[in-house]
Every structure is written in structure tokens, then in C-alpha cells.
A and B are shown apart, each in its own frame.
Chain A
Amino acid sequence: MFQLNINGRVHKVDVEPDTPLLWVIREQVGLTGTKYGCGVAQCGACSIHYNGEVMRSCVLPVSAVKPTDRIVTIEGLARDASHPVQRAWAELDVAQCGFCQSGQIMAAAALLRKKSRPTDGDIDEAMTNICRCGTYHRIRAAIHRAAGNRSAAAEADNNNATA
């Protein structure tokens, strides 16, 4: 039996110790916003916040999680999708299929907590999640917008199609 603090609520789960946190979140706790994409910490679809740091939950065994560790999933990031990153994602219509976006948003939110005004270089370094729809252009613009980097946001967003 493992005790976990997820989105401020305590959950007790009865699973094998090597069960990845991702699958505990999805199958035991029932929060499916955190996605399985690769299982080897390469794609970032399973990104969560672990004591405030972004973490790929598909390779973290549940036995390594202490009851006092604070786990936040996409469902617990903010009330009513009101986090500045979520708002910027909506305003710039970042998502296409949307499958990877939980992980992208969690990675971006963690970046902004560390660096409130990230540079393009900071974004390149921090945002290593994969998106096959190719929303990268808007992800960059949306992070700048969420950070209030007006000039960088305008620069990154300056692709409006003109007929």
C-alpha cells in the first residue's frame, strides 16, 4: 500500500512497488489527463509536477514516492484552467490534436516558475516534449505571452496568414 498526495488529496493505492507513477495516476487514481506516450521518459506526455519540479512520471516507480511528496497533475494545475500558461494556450490556439498538451503545459508552467521571463534559449532547453502535430511555433509564442514578454510574444506570433 502506498500513500500519495496528488493535487492536494491523499490517495492510498495497492500496487506493485515498481508500478510507474504514471500508471498509478491513470489507472488507480483515475486521472487520465497525464498521458502515456513512450514509457521511457523521452516524449514528455506524462509530465507532472513533483515537489514543484517537472518530472516524467512514466519512469518513476511508485515506491520512490514519499507520502509527503507533492504531486500535481494537469487536472490540479489551476482552477478552471486559469493558469497563465493555460490562458495563453487558449488565446493562441496552440493545441491541434491536444494529446501531448497536458505535458507541454506542465513543462511550460514549471519553466515559468523558475524563470518568469524566459528567453528563447531557456525555452529551447526546458521544452523537450514531443508534439507530432508540430505546435512548437505556438508553444514558444504562448510561453512568451504567458510570461508577459510582449515583444518576444509578438515576434514569435508574427505568422498570421495573409491572403
Chain B
Amino acid sequence: MEHAQQSALQDVTRRKFMVSTAAAGGGLALGLQLPFGAAPAAAQSAAAADEINLWVVVKPDDTCVIRIARAEMGQGTLTGLAQLVAEELECDWKKVATEQITPGQNLARKRAWGDMSTSGSRGIRQSHDYVRSGGAAARMMLMQAAASEWGVPVGELTVANGVISHAASRRRTSFGRVAAAAAKLTPPDPKTITLKPIKEWKIAGKPLRRIDNTRGKLDGSQIYAMDVRLPGMLHATVKQCPVFGGRLASFDAAKVTGMPGVRKVFAISPTTVAVVADTWWRAKKAMDALPIVWDEGPHAKVNSASIDAHLRTGLTSDDAFADINTGDAIKAIAAAPRKVEAVYSLPFTAHTTMEPMNCTVRLTADRAELWIPTQSAEASMAVLSSSSGLPLDKCEVYALNLGGGFGRRIGSQDVVRQGVAIAKEFPGVPVKMLWTREEDQAHGLYRPIAMARMTAGVDEQGNLAGMHIRVSGQSINAFANPAAIKDGRDRRQLQGLWDTLEGDAQIGYTHPNLRTEYAMRNTHLPVGPWRGVNTNQNGIFLECFMDEAAKLANRDPLEFRRVLMRERPKHLGVLNAAAEKAGWGKPLPKGVFRGIAQFMGYGSYSAAVAEVSVSAKGEVKVHRMVFALDCGNVVNPDQTAAQIEGSVAYGMTTLLGEISVDAGRVVETNFHNFPVMKVKEMPKVEVVLPLTGDFWGGVGEPTICVVVPAILNAIFAATGKPVRSLPLSKQGLTLI
């Protein structure tokens, strides 16, 4: 089965930039066809008078404006990046403000700010070095300006909190007073910049409050893209064929064009109809009343049962490739005195960002403007340009802070194409397009559906004799970025089960007889990255089955794992740290059971212990979760804790609901049938950060992959029955 949601034209555009968004380190330049790398000369020529360098602007009142190139969607990257710059700048944190640069500015300066895309937990781990260098260079220039003014060697000066001092002459000045002179200086040779040792950090590494949690998030004044208001603005909503691969057959616009406020009812693509009105509510009401006939296409009879059967063929088929193939796992398992085989099955799920998909577009003959919540403003601009037909230098994107991203707002940029198609009908008039929640649920880029057949043998001594992992399921790359699949081996679907030492999602166990395989089984649903991506499914497969194998071996799950982790000290480090903090092995209140899990993703090592009780009626209560995360270095421990807390809620929601398919379309249309976790179900969360300091890992995504397996293992401990499919309702269990 192949997705057929996009027209051929759209496909060309999407592939072009998806190739780039999926490339390591971003590499959006492919989509934008721009050279990589900084261009300091051009950058300086376009500089504002108070700009010290790319990253730092100092105002006469000593305010230090720190430029941010990555998107802020709640994950706290903006605060972390500002802390890193401020640390090297030696400014007064109380006088720091931030400024988001636009892709147009980045383009005008030959992408001097580097990659703007924000996904894969890369915001800090892949920009910490150059933003710190930017802060250090600005500090050196400010100090040089003071030294020149006083006619003393710069080496005699000291700096702290934005104040430069010369002890010998008892002179002091502030950043604001020397900023204008500093801005005219030649930037220091990068080779002369020495970053501070991390142990000397005073601003970075500290649990500072978020710099973006200003009044706007308390009194409603923060403007999200959904709130943008422009003079003369019109409002639009769209409806796409509910069956992926189907098309618009006909619609009766005359039935609704007379409704209040309605301006235009028209097809914007072979699959999509739009209504434009003077208010969004009127557009939505007209859309609800619009008679539409769909040509539902080739997938109209697909349902969850047929998809399930399709994936099941991949559990035993001979079309899989083996990734890890150490020793002979199949033979070792066959020869083992005790064996266990289990089939795990995980459904599609949706991002369901709180802010539904939207954007505002204004097109004139020589200008295209876009207001959008996006994880990649540069990808948004590439699509703005290709859909509007205007070259990039006539495009600009105003990326507003997102009302949630989680991977939905990175790849496809579907709303940009739609927004442009609508705005083309209203030259010079800004049009805001907002999807209903129902549209958002029905047209997601879902977390891929996946199954696994897990087989293990245990020897006479209770040690693992071999393990065989066969994953069958949908491929993100096959949908979004086929070029990333090399020689038919889509290793991305085995994320977290990789063996390469340089990988950022390496399996935590070594064994003489270990085999991992993937059989691709695609469906007609569009799929994409979903916070944690494939580490979610693979974490459940591996870590839950590890508990099944431990039980077969009659071993404690922690002890059983430790034996297999001798060659994985960082994985073992977080496992031990979580176990210690949670008091593994110590008595618990009656009826409460523990489960443990570890996994690696996004360059970081995670482990969790869950404390869970299960009532006779099958009510599951998660009382407490303890996490250990080794992300190498941490920029803000409190925001790191916040990300871990958030990963608990996002992960636990998959215990409650799923995206299922009937008659070719998504069944779960809103929160009434796509339940999302609330305050009541939220456990107590504790965090320990056993940092090893010799690398930089991600924070936003790593821990989600241990949330669910730790809980499911605790349920297994409580009931003796492994949980092999989700949501919990499939096991007769309910989360309370």
C-alpha cells in the first residue's frame, strides 16, 4: 500500500525538503539550495549598529539581546540557548532578552545562524558549541572596546555581570557603554576563542526560570499563530478527503455561499476544499453545511483488522533484513532448554498538539508572508516559495512560539501549501487558515503502527542463551524520505536497537547470540516522527520482553539486565542510578509493584522505575516514577526535569487511546474518543541526572521511551500477565 494523499506536484516539493530535514544535523540547505556554513563578512555588512555579532546585540541600557535560531515549542530550548550564550558573554542574566531570527534574515546572511530546524532533540546538543563561541566572541569584542578606550592591554581587564573593570586604574564601564565601539571591531579569530570549562559555569547548568514564561503565558497576552490578527484579515478552514488516497468528487458551493460572512468556497487541491469567510466560526459553520461527495479511492475498505493482518505477515516473512546478527541467535534459542516467544502490537497514535494546525498567509505580486507555528521555519519558507512561485528572497516567515510540536510541525508543511493556495485567491489580503480539531485528528502524520515477534532462550544457569527480535511495521522513511533507505535496509525503524558505537540510539545489551530484523509493512496512512519516534515502540518491545525473559530465567529483572550490560557502561549507569533512587528491592506498600526499563535515544541514556498497583477490577494506578537521564551535560536541570515530566504524560497517553482505522479513515475524531491523560492519572515524578560529562545528548525525547515499558513491567509484576498490546483497554485494564 502506498500513501496517495498528495498530488504529484506536492510530492516533488515535499521530497525535496524532506530529504534535507531528515539529514543528520538538519541540512535544510538541500531544500533551500543554499550553501552551508557561516559567512561572517556578509553578516557583518548587514549588521545593525548595536549588533556585536550574530548572537548578541547590546543596547545602551545594558540589555543584552540574545538571538535564537531554534524553535520554542514548550521544550525550553530558548532558555537553554540563552543561558549558554550568556555564560560566555559574562552578562547580567537579569538584563537578558531574546530575539527569534527569521529564515529570511538567515537567508540574507547566507545561513550564518546555521540550522534552524528543531526536532530530534537537537536544539541544544547540536548548537551548544557555536552559540557559546558566539557569546565568547562578543565578550572579547566588548572587552577590547573598553581596553582601546582606556588605552590599556585587554589582558588587564576583568568582566562580570556585564561590567568591565580595570583594577589598576579603578575604572569600570558597562557593556551598554562600549557596545557601539565593540560593534565596529573585527570579530576575533575563532582559533583564539576558548570556552569556559563546564565546571566553572554560573548561568548555564543552573535551574534558572524559563526566560519565555513571561506574563504572556499567564494573562493570555502571548500571541500564538492562531491568535494573529492583521488588518483586513479573512478566515478559512479546510476539509480533506477523510480516506487517505481518496479525492474530492464534487461539492455544492451554492448551498452555502449565501451563508453569513462567506466569501468563497473552492477546491484548493484534488483532495481538499476550503471555505473562506469574514470570521473563522462562519467559515467552519459553512463547511459543516457544505455538501461534499468524495471519491474515496482504493483504500476505502481498509480497517484496523486488515492492517493488523498485513503487519502480522511481516512477523515471519522472508523479506526482512537483519541488522544486528551476532552469533546464531535462532540456533541458540532452538537449543535452549527454556524458550519464550511473544508477539507485541502497538497501534498508530496522533500528536494532537493543543494548538490545531494553522497558518496565516499574505501574498502580493512580489511578496509572500507566512505566520506559522513551525518546527522548521526554513522548511516552511521553502514551501512558501515553491507554492507561491515567488523566489526565496521575496518570502518571509514569522515563526511564532508553537502551541505544541512533538514532530507534527516539522516534515510535511502541509498547511503551508494549503494556506498559500487559499491566499492566492485573495491577493494582498491576509488569510488565516485554521483546521478544526476533527481535521487535525483525521489528517495527522501518525506514529507508525508496529508489531514485533520476540523470541528468547534461557540456559540451565538462568542466563540468556539468545534473543531474536523481528519488527514488522510501517516505515517513516518510505512515506517521507525514501532516499534515506539504503539497499532496502530501513534501519531507522530499528532506532534504539542499533549496535554501532557511534550511533545515538544504541542497544544497551551485548550477547553472543543476538539478531534484530525489520520487515517493512506500509499502510495508506501518512506517518511521521512522534516525540521519541521509533524508540517508543522498540523500547516497549525490547524492555517488556526482557522482563518476560527474566521471568523465564527466574531472575530479578534488574539483575538479569545487568549481566548483559557489562559492555554498555552508560546504559548501565542510568539503570543503576534509577534503581538506587527508586529503592529497587526494598519493600513497597501492599499491592504496589515495581517495573524497570532502560533505553537510549537521541544521544542520551534513560532508565525508569515505575511503582504501580492493579486492582481486582483491573484498575491501574501509577503512583511514582523515578528517572535517571544521562544527557552528558545539562544546561538547565529544572527544564530537563520538566521535559521528563512531560514525557511521562505524553507516553502514558498511549496507555489510554489509539488511532484506529475503519472504512479507510481515522476513527478517533476528537478528545471524546481519543482520550488524553489528565492531572488525575499523573504520577509523582522524580529525576536524577547521573551526568558523565563527556558528550552532549538530547533531552526532549530520550526519556519517553522508558515511560511505558517501566509501567507495563510493573503491571506484569503485579498480575503475572505480560501486557503485549496497547491501549490498556485491550487487556481489560483501565488507567485511573
Contacts and interface: CB of A to CB of B under 8 A. Distances in A.
Contacts of A96: 74-76, 642, 646
8 contacts: A40-B437, A40-B670, A43-B354, A93-B213, A96-B646, A135-B646, A160-B637, A161-B688
B678 interface: yes
B68 to A, nearest CB: 15
Interface stretch (B135-143, B217-225, B442-450): B217-225
A93 B280 contact: no
Contacts of A160: 207, 637-638, 641, 687
A33 B678 contact: no
A27 B226 CA distance: 11
A23 B404 contact: no
B648 to A, nearest CB: 6
Contacts of B436: 39
A162 B407 CA distance: 29
Contact of B404 (A28, A36, A127, A133): A133
B218 A105 contact: yes
A144 interface: no
B220 A32 contact: yes
Contacts of A89: 217-218
A30 interface: yes
Nearest to B278: A27
B672 to A, nearest CB: 6
Contacts of B219: 33, 74-75, 77-78, 81, 86
Contacts, number: 212
B676 interface: yes
Given A33-B221, A132-B650, A159 B679 contact: no
B572 to A, nearest CB: 18
Interface in A102-159: 102, 105, 123-125, 127-140, 156, 158-159
B431 to A, nearest CB: 14
B402 interface: yes
B565 interface: no
B74 A34 contact: no
A136 B682 contact: yes
Given A32-B227, A39-B437, A133-B404, A163 B75 contact: no
B684 interface: yes
Interface in A5-43: 15-16, 18-20, 23, 26-28, 30-40, 42-43
Contacts of A80: 215
A2 interface: no
A48 to B, nearest CB: 11
Contacts of A42: 670-672
A95 interface: yes
B121 interface: no
Nearest to A95: B217
Q: Is the interface of A mostly helix, strand, loop or mixed?
A: loop
Task: Please tell me the size bucket of the interface on B.
Answer: 35 or more
A137 B685 contact: yes
Closest 7 CB pairs of A and B: A33-B220, A134-B649, A97-B74, A99-B403, A96-B74, A134-B646, A42-B671
Contact of A140 (B76, B213, B670, B679): B679
Nearest to A99: B403
B354 A131 contact: yes
B81 interface: no
Nearest to A85: B218
Given A127-B679, A133-B404, A140-B682, A97 B689 contact: no
Contacts of B640: 161
A32 B649 CA distance: 27
Contacts of A124: 679-680
B213 A98 contact: yes
A129 to B, nearest CB: 7
A64 interface: no
A81 B353 CA distance: 26
B55 interface: no
Interface string B201-244: 00000010110010111111111101101000001000000000
A100 interface: yes
B356 interface: yes
A93 B218 contact: no
A31 B686 CA distance: 38
A52 B2 CA distance: 53
B666 interface: no
Contacts of A159: 641, 645, 684-687
Given A19-B281, A27-B281, A138-B645, A132 B227 contact: no
A138 B76 CA distance: 15
Given A32-B220, A38-B671, A39-B437, A45 B688 contact: no
Given A39-B436, A86-B218, A134 B401 contact: no
